[in-house]
Structure 1
Amino acid sequence: MPQKLLEKVALVTGGTSGIGLATAKRFVAEGAYVFITGRRQTELDAAVKEIGENVTGVQSDASKLEDLDRLFATIKQEQGHLDVVFANAGVGELAPLGSITEEHFDKTFNTNVKGLLFTVQKALPLLPEGASIILNASITSIKGTPAFSVYSATKAAVRAFARNWTLDLKERKIRVNAVSPGVVPTPGFHLTGLSDEQLQESVDSQASTIPMGRVNTPDEIAKAVVFLASDDSSFVNGIELFVDGGMAQV
């Protein structure tokens, strides 16, 4: 079968685990050269080794603009352009209303909103006409979740970005779409502050509410991102693609 991203250059932020790592693997398998980012060098090195070929890891925190400048300088020097941006890096911690701190708010918005915005904006000079931008949103933007209001608000902002940037970039024929996963157990789940037992109970409970009868896997999200990155979705623009087993749909 022909590779869907042959000779394309792609960026996956937050590419050291979970959805980001699964997507980077899929991109390489489809013929792309991939840059991945991560905040911790040890985990970044491990991910690069796991992917194996056609990959460069760049230590970068999406919330720090100087890190983003260094990231795109590296991409420009090594490849000269980008065809695909998957703005995936994000954080999420539980905090019910009444217990939300300024630190919690700033950390979540600085990564999920500010970081994503400037990742895309700083990528623009490297994007040719017809490039594809995919933003990682979430079903939490439309479906209430206890103690997750700040995270959910950031993902609603991400969805709004996709709609508006589709119009901002229409003259350059750059497509902007959002992918919204459902429940996807990843290492990021441990950032919620729950114990392993509590996490498993939460996953099992949510699985029972999903029409498919189970939770997502990172690779299922990755396959959807490949679709949005490739010419298979050449007339798909400005959408929110839910990959949630029907959880937020019925």
Structure 2
Amino acid sequence: MNRLNGKTAVVTGGGTGIGLGAAKRFVEEGAFVYIFGRRQAQLDAALEALGPNARAVAGSVTDLGDLDRLYETVKAERGRIDIVFANAGTGGFAPLGEITPEHYDAIFDVNVKGLLFTVQKALPLMGRGSSIILTGSSTGVMGTPQFSVYSATKAAIRNLARSWALDLQGTGIRVNVLSPGPTKTDLAREVVGEEAFEALGASTPIGRLGDPSETGAVAAFLASEDASFMTGGEVFVDGGLAQV
């Protein structure tokens, strides 16, 4: 399948996990992909897996200068952006009564502020037929103990998509949320813990953890013309966790 043939994609948090899963699928479907992340070693390893139709730029979504450098690179080399997958994110546990300003700032700065400026700074390079994909989470519609700050960032992302769909009316640019559930990523295992994470996957109606390739397949759908009548929406890839 070559639904993304000739398109240029940017994937933040693209060195590992869901971002890398999407980047692989985008390349398989014909896109040239820029992956963006903080850790050069992970980016280098990802490029080996992605092959010649990918390029890595190191930086943080919390640094507006790094984002400017990313988009200056894309503009110089490709001239435009067809797909933005604003996927970079972080998380951590803190129950009510123990939430600190540092905990709040660290998570909101990446998940909301970083995502917002990832999208806004890309807009001058985007045109009719382009697709913006925001990474949400099943936690955005569920109550999760000790995870309220992270969950609130994902609920915020859901409303950003609704509002931006209206802001982008008439531009031909679509924006949708892709909301994973428990998925095999290093970040998820680090935050939740291996045993608890496996148990969470087993609790889904499908009965297992998701794989980044499964989320990547849905990201490719949202990026393609197959989703041309979709904007302001949310697609769950959560094994049914938040659906029943």
Distance 1:191 1:98 in 2: 23
TM-score by length of 2: 0.97
Deviations 1:194-241 (A, max 9, x none): 5xxxx2321232133211111211111100000000011111111110
Is the Cα contact below 8 Å between 2:12 and 2:36 reproduced in 1?
yes
Root-mean-square deviation (Å):
1.1
Distance 1:15 1:201 in 2: 26
Distance 1:72 1:128 in 2: 15
Candidates 230, 233, 236, aligned match of 1:239: 233
**Does residue 106 of the first structure (1) align with residue 105 of the second (2)?**
yes
Distance 1:189 1:215 in 2: 11
Which letter does structure 2 place at the counterpart of 1:249? Q
Name the structure 2 match of 1:148.
147
Which letter does structure 1 place at the counterpart of 2:139? T
Is the Cα contact below 8 Å between 1:93 and 1:191 reproduced in 2?
no
Q: Give the secondary structure class of the aligned counterpart of 2:67.
A: helix
Distance 1:231 1:73 in 2: 26
Q: Give the secondary structure class of the aligned counterpart of 1:122.
A: helix
Distance 2:22 2:172 in 1: 23
Q: Which runs of 5+ in 1 are unaligned?
A: none
Name the structure 2 match of 1:39.
38
Q: Which runs of 5+ in 2 are unaligned?
A: none
Name the structure 2 match of 1:82.
81
Q: How many residues align?
A: 244
Name the structure 2 match of 1:208.
202
Is the Cα contact below 8 Å between 1:185 and 1:217 reproduced in 2?
yes
Distance 1:49 1:149 in 2: 37
- Aligned-pair distance for 1:190? 4.4
Name the structure 1 match of 2:223.
229
Q: Give the secondary structure class of the aligned counterpart of 2:85.
A: strand
- Aligned-pair distance for 1:134? 0.4
Name the structure 2 match of 1:9.
8
Which letter does structure 2 place at the counterpart of 1:231? E
Which letter does structure 2 place at the counterpart of 1:160? N
Identity of aligned residues (%): 55
Q: Give the secondary structure class of the aligned counterpart of 1:170.
A: coil
Distance 2:169 2:53 in 1: 30
Name the structure 1 match of 2:138.
139
Q: Give the secondary structure class of the aligned counterpart of 1:117.
A: helix
Distance 2:198 2:55 in 1: 36
**Does residue 59 of the first structure (1) align with residue 53 of the second (2)?**
no
TM-score by length of 1: 0.95
Q: Give the secondary structure class of the aligned counterpart of 1:12.
A: strand
Is the Cα contact below 8 Å between 2:165 and 2:174 reproduced in 1?
yes
Q: Give the secondary structure class of the aligned counterpart of 2:79.
A: coil
- Aligned-pair distance for 1:191? 4.2
Distance 1:23 1:228 in 2: 11
Deviations 1:116-170 (A, max 9, x none): 0000000000001121000000010111111111000000111011101011001
Once superposed, which parts of structure 1, at least 4 consecutive aligned residues long, lie more than 3 Å away? none
Distance 2:190 2:100 in 1: 16
